[in-house]
Structure 1
Amino acid sequence: MAGPQCCSNPPTLNPTSGSGHVEKLGGLDSYLTGSPDSKLAIVLVSDIFGYEAPNLRKLADKVAAAGFFVVVPDFFYGDPYVPPADGSLDSLPTWLKGHGPEKRFEDVKLVIGALKSQGVSSIGAAGFSLGAKVVVELAKGDFIQAAVLAHPSLFTVDDIKAVKVPISILGAEIDQMSPPEVVKQFEEALAAKSEIKSHVKIFPKVSHGWTVRYDVSDKEAVKVAEEAHKDLLEWFVNHVR
Structure 2
Amino acid sequence: MLRMFTIVLHVLFVTLCLQLQQGVSGPQCLEHPPNLNGTSGAGSVIKVGGLKAYVTGPSHSKLAIILASDVYGFEAPNLRKIADKVASTAGFHVVVPDFFYGEPYNPNNTQRNMTVWLKDHGTDKGFEDAKRLIAALKNKGVSKIGAAGFCWGGKVVAELSKGYYTKAAVLLHPSRVTLDDIKAVKTPIAILVAQFDNGTPPELMKQFKEALSTNKIDNVVKIFPGVSHGWTVRYQDNNVTAVKSANEAHQDMLDWFTKDVQKR
Q: Which residue of 1 aligns with 2:83?
A: 60
3-state SS in 2 of match to 1:172: strand
Runs (4+) of structure 1 exceeding 4 A deviation are none
Deviations 1:155-181 (A, max 9, x none): 210110111100000011000122222
Superposed displacement of residue 182, structure 1: 1.6
Q: Which residue of 1 aligns with 2:9?
A: none
Deviations 1:172-204 (A, max 9, x none): 10001222222221111112122x110110000
Distance (Å, rounded) in 2 between the aligned partners of 1:204 and 1:143: 32
Q: 1:3 aligns with which of 8, 26, 31?
A: 26
Deviations 1:30-66 (A, max 9, x none): 0000001111000000000000000000000000011
State TM-score, norm by structure 1: 0.95
Deviations 1:96-143 (A, max 9, x none): 111001111111111101110111000000001111111011111111
Q: Which residue of 1 aligns with 2:255?
A: 234
Q: 1:80 aligns with which of 85, 92, 104?
A: 104
2:68 paired with 1:45: yes
Any conservation in 1 of the 2:173–2:229 contact (CA below 8 Å)? yes
Distance (Å, rounded) in 2 between the aligned partners of 1:220 and 1:206: 7
State TM-score, norm by structure 2: 0.87
Any conservation in 1 of the 2:227–2:241 contact (CA below 8 Å)? no
**RMSD, aligned CA:** 1.5
Structure 1: 5+ residue stretches without partners: none
Distance (Å, rounded) in 2 between the aligned partners of 1:230 and 1:154: 24
Q: 2:154 aligns with which of 132, 143, 151?
A: 132
Distance (Å, rounded) in 2 between the aligned partners of 1:214 and 1:60: 16
Aligned length in residues: 238
3-state SS in 2 of match to 1:127: strand
User: Which has more radius of gyration?
Assistant: 2
Q: Which residue of 2 aligns with 1:198?
A: 219
2:242 paired with 1:221: yes
2:113 paired with 1:113: no
